[in-house]
Copies of this chain bind each other. A is one copy, B any other.
């Protein structure tokens, strides 16, 4: 049994970044959660289930291991905890995961469509459509559902040869988005970007139902402005 102080850092980070979700307009009531991992310790801190954001404190964050078992904390962790655990276990380089039901991204998930790459705002962050994993088979839903949701995401990335370090977001069909990143800042940032891109893609199709996908040269240019050895965006 580990002492509390060991997890102070991820607890504080999980608290701080959970609180950003309502500030960024990404959640209604408790419809979302952020977790922050300590891969060396094999644990992550996650929002307790069903607790209002206004009632959160760092102490209420629950410490869970990568099998989804609570290690420390008096409250029950988020009902989505096992999805987080599966992703951390298989994707060693992600430091945080965010789940929301933000309106536009969730509407795309409900539509069972990936989000086409229509513009440079999208290409600044990833070079392909935002993926949408199909709903799971019934027996997986009836079984260990949240655990299987994690595998549904992993399998979709594998089948489509996606790299989780390059594509830091997915829509789970009929459900809602998950995003991640090396840091909690980046994972929350990705959730807000996804919602913004989802809204603009919705409007783009309304304005021009025949709008083309962004041309390859622009996809390449904009992504490489922000990422890789020749990037020149930021400081």
Contacts and interface: CB of A to CB of B under 8 A. Distances in A.
B206 A206 contact: yes
Which bracket fits the contact residues of A?
Answer: 35 or more
A112 B215 CA distance: 12
Q: By CB atoms of chain B within 10 A, which of A28, A51, A225 has the most? A: A28
Given A29-B192, A110-B204, A212-B112, A50 B119 contact: no
Interface in A191-235: 192-193, 196, 199-208, 211-212, 214-218, 220-221, 225, 232-235
Contact of A107 (B75, B189, B204): B204
Q: By CB atoms of chain B within 10 A, which of A48, A106, A108 has the most? A: A106
Contacts of A193: 28-29
A11 interface: no
Interface in A151-206: 174-176, 189, 192-193, 196, 199-206
B112 A200 contact: no
Contacts of A103: 196, 199-200, 203
Contact of A106 (B49, B112, B119): B119
A153 B212 CA distance: 21
Given A135-B218, A206-B206, A225-B79, A235 B49 contact: yes
A104 interface: yes
Interface of A: 28-29, 31, 48-51, 75-76, 79, 101, 103-104, 106-113, 118-121, 135, 138, 141-142, 145, 174-176, 189, 192-193, 196, 199-208, 211-212, 214-218, 220-221, 225, 232-235
